[in-house]
Amino acid sequence: MEETHLTQLGREARGFDSPEAAVLERVPNPHPGTRYLVRFAAPEFTSLCPVTGQPDFAHLVIDYVPGDWLVESKSLKLYLGSFRNNGAFHEDCTVAIGKRLVAELTPEWLRIGGYWYPRGGIPIDVFWQTGAAPTGVWLPDQGVAPYRGRG
């Protein structure tokens, strides 16, 4: 396994101006060859509407079955934060995050659920995964209730 050089963990790290500029770091999987699920939840994800510039909010849930690499969590946090001043539609944000993680980690499998809060009265939920769910891995429900409004 290649040696990793972490530049953000344990150091002061400022946010990034854009998702493209953000540095995602990885660390070796301590259990290569063992199938297990890793979940990250980001209940306060924000980006900007590319048309109005108004903020959009989402609860993201990222599940993946690692291969040789794990995403380093501080770098993931900084990457997700880089969307805060980025104009992109819900679909673009959600799918781009999933694809970037796949490109960096080469996981066995990954899925992302973007549960976007309503703006203009319509909630938009976006889901993407790399393929069929792997067998032999516990895949719990993402645990985010559908939007119900005032009930």
Strands 109-116, 55-65: pairing kind: antiparallel
Catalytic residue, candidates 17, 56, 63, 93? 56
- How far, CA to CA in Å, does 20 sit from each of 14, 96, 117, 126? 15, 10, 24, 21
What are 20-54's pLDDT values in tens digits? 989 999 999 999 999 999 999 999 999 999 999 99
pLDDT per residue over 100-139, tens digit each?
Answer: 999 999 999 999 999 999 988 888 999 999 999 999 999 9
Element (H, E) at 66: none
56 tagged catalytic? yes
Residue 109: what pLDDT? 98
| Count, residues in the chain | 151
Domains, the chain, with CATH or none = 33-129 (3.30.1130.10)
What is the C-alpha to C-alpha distance for residues 111 and 128, in angstroms, rounded to an integer? 6
Active site includes 93?
no
Phi (first) and psi of residue 95, to 5 degrees? -70, -40
Catalytic residue among 49, 68, 92, 125: 49
Estimate the crossing angle of helix 90-105 against helix 73-81, to 10 degrees.
Answer: 150
Q: Which helix (H) or strand (E) holds 58?
A: strand 55-65
In which residue are the tokens 């995050």 written? 97
pLDDT score of 150: 53
Read off the pLDDT of each residue in 84-93 and give the average, rounded to a whole number. 94
Q: Which residue has the higher pLDDT, 15 or 24?
A: 24
pLDDT at 72 over 90: yes
Query: What value does the mean pLDDT of the chain take?
Result: 90
